[in-house]
Structure 1
Amino acid sequence: MEGLYVILLSVHSIVRWLVLIFGAVALLRTLPGLGGGRAFTASERKAVAMFTGSVHLQLVLGLLLFAFMGMQTIPAFADAPRPSFRWEHVGLGVLVAVFATLASALSKRAATDQGKYRAAVIWTSLALLLSLAAIPWWRPLLRLFTQ
């Protein structure tokens, strides 16, 4: 069981960077459209969808860690700055997934291109901010098959 934990934790650590990269790309693709006059193209849609997909993958990996190991026994949080961080981490992860999903869904359904850009920027920004708050920055920035 420890081997599975180390693999899941390592992949979860790597995917965090994908979330941040795809989120930054989504913002770089959609922020210029807030000024108006630009069509919301398949490129912008794909950037937002990639961000949302990476967030969902990260949430699934995190929930698998939670399910297999239980929050009380996860060594990754043994050095957390406060005992509540483990629950904050899970709660923020769920909220990030909700906000990323809203970015994707609302930017897809908005009636105007301007509305699509606005929804993508607002919800992607909120998801990224919460992602940054949820990351345990005191831990190694890239953990590869170690605890």
Structure 2
Amino acid sequence: MSAYSVLLVLHSWSRWLVVIFGLIALYRGYVGWTGRRPFLGADNGMGASFVGSMHLQVLLGLGLYFGLSPWGLNAMKQAGAMKDPTARFFGVEHIAVMLLAAVLAQVGRSLSKKAPDDTLKHRRAFTYYAIALILVLLMIPWGIWNPARPLFRF
């Protein structure tokens, strides 16, 4: 198995960590905000898990983009790459939106920890995590739209 294949499998499987931790962090933020619950260590920990899994994805994705993937920077060097939907998606759209999502998740976690009261902490976490997770879900190349891209790589 090549280094590209290993990194691609890791990047593909760790997206599920992002989705699972994101959904849990989003749920905790919503329930805490609407229920006016105290901001617990578990809330902070789930936010940290979401952000940490996003950081892992960014590192794996940058390894693919700048080094091993034929669809990353290598594709962008080809003439007419912006006219090719697949090359444009992976070379520009996917990486730009995913980086934005990771930044928003990190900002949301930082702002939620610094908020003066628990309700505001939950609301900030929910808002930023929701935007970040929506962006992630929009930019994952789901296999349901393209059967050549499996949901689970082996």
- TM-score using structure 2 length: 0.83
Structure 2 equivalent of residue 142 of structure 1? 152
Runs (4+) of structure 1 exceeding 6 A deviation are none
Is 1:85 equivalent to 2:89 in the alignment? Answer: yes
* Shift in Å, 1:123: 0.5
1:1-147 matches, cutoff 5 A: 3-69=2-68, 71=72, 72-73=74-75, 81-86=85-90, 87-137=92-142, 138=146, 139-144=149-154
Shift of 1:64: 0.7
CA distance in 2, matches of 1:135, 1:81: 15
The CA deviation at 1:41 is 0.6
Unaligned runs of 5+ in 2: 77-83
Work out the number of aligned pairs and report it. Answer: 138
What code does the residue aligned with 2:54 have? V
Q: Deviations over 1:36-84 (max 9, x none)?
A: 531101011111110000001001100011121251359xxxxx85442
Supply the RMSD in Å over aligned alpha carbons.
1.8
TM-score (norm 1): 0.87
CA shift digits 1:77-136 (9 cap, x unpaired): xxx854421110010110111011012111111111111001100000001000011101
Partner Cα separation in structure 1 for residue 29 and residue 95 of structure 2? 28
Structure 2 CA distance, aligned partners of 1:143 and 1:68?
20
Pick which of 65-74 and 13-22 moved more. Answer: 65-74
Per mean C-alpha deviation after superposition, the further-off stretch among 124-133 and 134-143 is 134-143
Q: Distance in 1 between matches of 2:135 and 2:10?
A: 20
**Alpha-carbon distance in structure 2 between the residues aligned to 1:134 and 1:37:** 32
Residue identity over aligned pairs, in percent, reads 41
Segment drifting more, 97-106 vs 29-38:
29-38
How far apart, in 2, do the equivalents of 1:10 and 1:36 lie? 39
Distance 2:4 2:75 in 1: 11
